[in-house]
């Protein structure tokens, strides 16, 4: 089962904070870069070991020296390691991180079905395991009982959470400067999207996952929709997390735009979605599933860009979205180890939602956080995994 709500990490390192209120356009992007410069200098100056932090289980985790062998239990942690220049440290990944360049040469620690194999993780002989909040506390404890150092993260439901997690992973793994650079790239593009859509009318958006599940408000996905000039219609019914709703509720919400991925695009031809204003007016936006479902820097950049282009194409055409190199150059540093482009294919993500009953005829799944996972996969299982890109 997916771990429930967990406390925030108690000892996070300094973060590359958001652009200052009131900054717009180029000024906002420059401010984000300035913040990242300060964060880079702060964290890099104090990026040594031993280092201690409190994780989501309330455990004080101490890293005695820079970990050379790291195993990640979810794709967003792996993506983050690639983005901050730490991919060479990674020795184990879950099956859903295999879209990353070179990840297929690492040990696949996934169990059959969903989750990871404790035996496989232990077999990678890791110095450190990065575990998402989607990993059960039982799995984390089993690894600790086997003598493995594990850091269990709290959920990421906002872009600010992604920034803090990126900084923390950089601190835990000795990649502080790379983390600051990744955050600078993310922050610059987030501010660009917000500025580009500031005067535009928000699009009423719904992101269906299949099996009746949707991405509700107070989620990382909803935060990206908001940043791109959309408004998640789930908020109109106070549907938070990843609820399961019935057809009647979908029709009552009547979204003007639908966001789909390669796995969920089939919904456009099925009821109730075929009868929504979004499909009838051909207002659908297709986004790579990895970007929508993995809270990590590249996901934010590419997801927000694609959503902005779909919701507000004219505004997006005028927006000055920055490349990784441009954002780093604005920091006054050299290009980081992580490259500007990593091949990304539309592959599955993990999930095991924990459900609860809510109003509006919905059953909600506790939000998959740092390892955001499509709640629908727990319902549809292998049948959905068998669907291919259309």
Give per-residue pLDDT as tens, 72-105: 999 999 999 999 999 999 999 999 999 999 999 9
Given this model, what pLDDT does residue 15 score? 30
Fold match between domain 25-190 and domain 195-385: yes
Q: Is CATH 3.40.50.1980 what the domain over 25-190 is classified as, yes or no?
A: yes
Given this model, what pLDDT does residue 46 score? 83
Q: What percent of the chain has pLDDT over 90?
A: 71
First to last CA, the chain: 31
Task: Give the position of tokens 């600790």.
Answer: 144
Q: Are 187 and 300 in contact (CB under 8 A)?
A: no
Given this model, what pLDDT does residue 35 score? 52
More confident residue, 169 or 352: 169
Mapping DSSP to helix (H, G, I), strand (E, B) and coil, where does residue 279 land?
A: helix
User: Could you read off the pLDDT of 7-46 as tens digits, one per residue?
Assistant: 232 233 333 333 333 334 444 444 444 554 444 444 456 8
Given this model, what pLDDT does residue 45 score? 60
User: Alpha-carbon dihedral of residues 138, 142, 144, 145, nearest 10 degrees?
Assistant: 130
Structure confidence at residue 385 as a pLDDT band (50, 70, 90): very low
Most confident of 316-320, 343-347, 365-369: 316-320
Q: Where are the domains of the chain?
A: 25-190, 195-385
Asked if the model's pLDDT at residue 350 lies above 70, the reply is no
Given this model, what pLDDT does residue 388 score? 28
Question: What one-character-per-residue DSSP string does 317-330 give?
Answer: HH--PPPHHHHHHH
CA atoms within 13 A on the CB side of 275: 9
Least confident interval from 19-28, 111-120, 311-320: 19-28
Average pLDDT, the chain: 81
- CATH class of residue range 195-385: alpha beta
Given this model, what pLDDT does residue 144 score? 98
Least confident interval from 101-105, 128-132, 348-352: 348-352
Task: Give the position of tokens 């879209």.
Answer: 99
Structure confidence at residue 134 as a pLDDT band (50, 70, 90): confident
Asked if the model's pLDDT at residue 376 lies above 60, the reply is no
Asked if the model's pLDDT at residue 390 lies above 80, the reply is no
CA distance 329 to 331: 5
Asked if the model's pLDDT at residue 304 lies above 70, the reply is yes
299 Cβ neighbours under 8 A, 6+ residues apart = 76, 79, 162, 290, 291, 292, 293
Most confident of 292-296, 307-311, 352-356: 307-311
Asked if the model's pLDDT at residue 225 lies above 50, the reply is yes
313 Cβ neighbours under 8 A, 6+ residues apart = none
Given this model, what pLDDT does residue 44 score? 52
């Amino acid at each position: 089962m997916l771990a429930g709500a967990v406390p925030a990490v108690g000892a996070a390192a300094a973060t590359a904070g958001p652009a200052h209120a009131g900054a717009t356009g180029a000024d906002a992007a420059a401010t984000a870069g300035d913040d990242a410069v300060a964060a880079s200098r702060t964290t890099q100056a104090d990026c040594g070991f031993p280092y201690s932090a409190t994780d989501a289980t309330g455990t004080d985790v101490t890293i005695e020296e820079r970990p050379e062998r790291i195993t990640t239990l979810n794709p967003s942690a792996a993506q983050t390691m690639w983005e901050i220049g730490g991919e060479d440290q990674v020795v184990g990944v879950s099956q859903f991180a295999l879209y990353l360049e070179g990840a297929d040469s690492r040990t696949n620690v996934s169990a059959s079905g969903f989750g990871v194999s404790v035996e496989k993780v232990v077999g990678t002989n890791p110095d450190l395991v990065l575990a998402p909040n989607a990993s059960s506390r039982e799995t984390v404890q089993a690894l600790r009982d086997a003598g493995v150092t594990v850091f269990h993260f709290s959920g990421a439901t906002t872009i600010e959470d992604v920034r803090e997690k990126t900084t923390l992973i950089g601190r835990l793994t000795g990649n502080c400067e790379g983390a600051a650079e990744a955050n600078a790239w993310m922050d610059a593009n987030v501010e660009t999207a917000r500025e580009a859509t500031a005067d535009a009318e928000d699009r009423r958006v719904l992101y269906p996952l299949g099996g009746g599940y949707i991405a509700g408000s107070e989620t990382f996905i909803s935060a990206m929709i908001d940043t791109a000039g959309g408004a998640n219609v789930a908020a109109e019914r106070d549907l938070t997390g990843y609820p399961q709703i019935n057809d009647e509720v979908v029709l009552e919400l009547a979204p003007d735009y639908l966001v789909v991925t390669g796995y969920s695009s089939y919904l456009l031809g099925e009821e109730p979605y075929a009868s929504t204003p979004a499909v009838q007016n051909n207002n659908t936006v297709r986004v790579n599933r990895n970007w929508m479902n993995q809270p990590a820097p590249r996901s934010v950049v590419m997801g927000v860009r694609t959503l902005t282009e779909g919701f507000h194409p004219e505004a997006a055409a005028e927006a000055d979205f920055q490349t990784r190199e441009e954002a780093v150059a604005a920091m006054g540093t050299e290009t980081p180890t992580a490259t500007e482009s990593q091949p990304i294919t539309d592959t599955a993500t993990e999930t095991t939602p924990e459900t609860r009953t809510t109003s509006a005829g919905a059953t909600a799944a506790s939000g998959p956080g740092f390892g955001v996972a499509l709640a629908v996969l727990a319902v549809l299982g292998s049948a959905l995994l068998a669907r291919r890109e259309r």
